[in-house]
Chains A and B, each alone.
Chain A
């Protein structure tokens, strides 16, 4: 059953959900090797939908050379919602364009189900893209846009019509199928762009910051919508964003990128709780950085001494050997304020209290100096203690709260 069956095998948590192609026999890409109208059909459906191996991409020539991607390797599993996260210019869009085929790597391989697609032009790759600007064809109707890919694949007319109807239903756009794309709203254009990219049932769907043009409320809606579409279609999604919250809420796994390199790949929880590098901790969520000195270490846990002579045990990532002066990272919600400074691991003076509705941020000026330390408290109806600015306070850490990271 082509993609649909494979996605079930790969995603046992969704056995009862029918993939959207199931009741339409013959409407999916045939599961045999070879090609369909020049578009390759991978031979061996493997565990990894996409494997990027040692890919480098250099722009410019001579002295103006810039490595947009500096030897990147990553595996993206089948039926996964995979996010490339990083600040602008980190190479995430370049990597997406290499997978789509709009650019070709300077070195390295890109495997789709085990087959190297790096030298293929985009129109021979069973991969579709949702563009940041949507790139809907302005001279065509909504339905014509959605059917374009199938038409180019040389599908029979009846099949195209059936699939377009199915896609219109999937993205709830049946009523507007005859409209020009300039006559529909931004959110609707977004849905059409999604339907157009999903209609040919690609092996992998690439999404290039597709939500960035939408307002906050619509963006939240589309986040849920995207997750639903990924569930229902069982297609591997590769999602590019610079929005860490979006990445954390939507992804199965995230690759954090910076300056053309992938710094860490992991589940949202991994990335948030066990960042591999200082950059990752800093980029995702709020983080406190504390200077300290390693006094001893054993089995992945270091004992770090603060200037105040207090010590704390802190985990560190595999393959990293902390010693001497180090920086500890602590999430604001993994620390607690105590009114009695003597009970705190570190102490300071409350310099600012910022109320956020759901929680309150306490800014503590540490006795040892340095940056302010932020403690986040979830607000409840019965907050036991109230603090006032200027008060001397202690800060306690939860178990495993602190980590030593590479700078």
Chain B
């Protein structure tokens, strides 16, 4: 049983009202979006009845397929590469003697989180334009993968680093004491215990890449439409509930990955 608290924020006047307003503002638009994906009419503002037809239309849509394929190729590759980079960075910054510039390195890794995304997008675009101009190089979809990998690293890095910092260093001493060479101690002790952090970091990196719009919009070349770009293009035409259906699918994928990340994090806390 929880102890009775002397001060409970719930007793403050207006607490309930403010909480309800916040929740409504956050979730009502999303709920409306999801509800209208089942609308049997072809307007997103006028409800006529329930149908699953728009999901059928979406799944039969070739453009949607192409966009989904692009998104998966980019997100999965970017997730794998950025998670590996983030893992190495986290190990290099927690399992070493403190060195000059450690704080600076930490800043450098996390700075992309603070830079406005549009700035990163313009910078990335200019960078690829420069490369293309100077060396005549264009990596095609590789440009997008590279850009996504880079901005995913700090997201993957955070849970991995947190996990490493939580880990009892004595375990690694114990492994060394029991004749494990540094490599064996890492392979048999540190890495297995780090897996939840890595999974959690990878899930975060995936959703960040999966629903990125700004950077993708600027960097993407012709034929490199991802799902967020596809939705953006569709809403500039007369909207049908098909867009609601596609958005709902995207939302479900995101929720799935956030939940996975959260559940892993919660299990490790036990």
Contact = CB atoms under 8 A, between A and B. Distances in A.
Nearest to B181: A123
Which of A127, A139, A153 has the most B CB atoms < 10 Å from its CB? A139
A196 B178 contact: yes
Given A133-B168, A137-B171, A152-B184, A101 B179 contact: no
A389 interface: no
Contacts of A196: 178
Contacts of A101: 176-177
A200 B178 CA distance: 8
Contacts of B181: 38, 123, 152
B175 A148 contact: yes
A43 to B, nearest CB: 19
A39 interface: yes
A135 interface: yes
A123 B193 contact: no
Contacts of B180: 123, 148, 152
Residue of B168, B173, B179 contacting most chain A CB atoms (<10 Å): B179
Interface in B152-177: 168, 170-171, 173-177
Given A123-B180, A152-B180, A139 B175 contact: no
Contact of A133 (B170, B177, B184, B185): B170
Contact of B179 (A102, A131, A135, A153): A153
A152 B178 contact: yes
A168 B29 CA distance: 61
B174 A129 contact: yes
A37 interface: yes
A128 B177 contact: yes
Given A38-B181, A152-B184, A135 B176 contact: no
Given A152-B180, A153-B179, A137 B174 contact: yes
Nearest to A37: B179
B178 A149 contact: yes
Contacts of B188: 148
Contacts of B176: 101-102, 121-123
Contacts of A330: none
Interface string A248-288: 00000000000000000000000000000000000000000
Say which size band chain B's interface belongs to. 10 to 19
- With a 10 A CB-CB cut-off, give which of B176, B177, B181 has the most chain A CB atoms: B177
Contacts of B177: 100-102, 122-123, 127-129, 197
A200 B168 CA distance: 23
Residue of A100, A121, A127, A149 with most chain B CB atoms under a 10 A cut-off: A149
Interface string A111-139: 00000000001111001110101011111
A131 B178 contact: no
Contacts of A136: 174
A75 to B, nearest CB: 23
B173 A131 contact: yes
A10 B67 CA distance: 78
A131 B174 contact: yes
A153 B180 CA distance: 8
Interface range for A: 20 to 34
B91 interface: no
A155 to B, nearest CB: 10
A102 B173 contact: yes
A102 B181 CA distance: 13
Contact of A123 (B170, B179, B189): B179
Contacts of A39: 179
Given A149-B179, A152-B180, A135 B173 contact: yes
B122 to A, nearest CB: 45
Nearest to A153: B179
A135 B193 contact: no
B192 interface: yes
Nearest to B176: A122
B132 to A, nearest CB: 48
B173 A137 contact: no
Interface in A18-64: 37-39
A121 B108 CA distance: 33
A49 to B, nearest CB: 17
Contacts of A129: 173-174, 177
B167 to A, nearest CB: 10
B174 to A, nearest CB: 4
Contact of B170 (A37, A124, A131, A149): A131
A196 B176 CA distance: 13
A184 to B, nearest CB: 16
Contacts of A138: 171, 193
B192 A139 contact: yes
A162 to B, nearest CB: 18
A138 B170 CA distance: 12
Nearest to B174: A135
A138 B174 CA distance: 12
Interface in B203-252: none
A301 B14 CA distance: 84
B146 to A, nearest CB: 35
A100 B173 CA distance: 10
Interface string A187-217: 0000000001100100000000000000000
A352 B181 CA distance: 61
A406 B258 CA distance: 68
A149 B175 CA distance: 8
Contacts of A149: 178-179
9 contacts: A38-B181, A123-B179, A124-B179, A131-B170, A148-B175, A148-B178, A148-B180, A148-B188, A153-B179
Given A102-B177, A123-B176, A133-B168, 8 more contacts: A100-B177, A121-B176, A123-B179, A133-B170, A136-B174, A148-B175, A152-B175, A152-B178
The 4 closest A-B pairs by CB, nearest first: A149-B178, A152-B179, A135-B174, A135-B170
